[in-house]
Amino acid sequence: MMTCQLTKLETALDQLKKAYPQLVPADAALLASALTLTGRHAIALYEGEQYVWPDDNEKLMKAMVPQVKNTQEAIESNAPKRVSKTAVEEEPILMNVGLMPNLTAGENLLSGRDELKTLLSDILQEGVEFVYAPNDLGWQWALDRANWTTIAGQEVSKRVKSKTAFTEGAVGVEMNAGAKKRPTTKKAAVADIVDIPDTPTDEIIDIEE
pLDDT at 164: 96
- Whether residue 188 is contained in a domain is answered as no
What pLDDT was estimated at residue 20? 94
Reply yes or no on whether the pLDDT at 92 is more than 90: no
Higher pLDDT, 133 or 206: 133
Q: CA-to-CA distance for 159 and 156, rounded, in angstroms? A: 8
Is the pLDDT confidence value at 118 over 90?
Answer: yes
- Of the pLDDT bands very low, low, confident and very high (cuts 50, 70, 90), residue 3 is very high
In a domain, 105, yes or no: yes
Residue 132 lies in a domain: yes
193 contact partners, CB below 8 Å, separation of at least 6: 145
Model confidence band, residue 209 (pLDDT cutoffs 50, 70, 90): very low
Q: Which residue range forms the structural domain that includes residue 170?
A: 2-55+95-150+163-176
In a domain, 125, yes or no: yes
Q: Is residue 82 part of a domain?
A: no
**Residue 192's pLDDT band (cuts 50, 70, 90):** very low
- Asked whether the whole model's pTM tops 0.85, one would answer no
pLDDT, residue 155, reads 87
- Does 105 score more than 90 pLDDT? yes
Asked if residue 196 has pLDDT above 70, the reply is no
Is the Cβ–Cβ distance between 44 and 99 less than 8 Å? yes
The whole-angstrom separation of Cα 93 and Cα 46 is 16
Count of the separate structural domains present in the chain:
1
Is 104 contained in some domain?
yes
Instruction: Tell which residue, 49, 79, 76, has the closest CA to residue 157.
Output: 76
| In-domain check, residue 8 | yes
User: Which letter, b or e, does each residue of 45-61 get, where b requires 16 or more Cβ atoms within 10 Å of its Cβ?
Assistant: bbeeeebbbeebbeebb
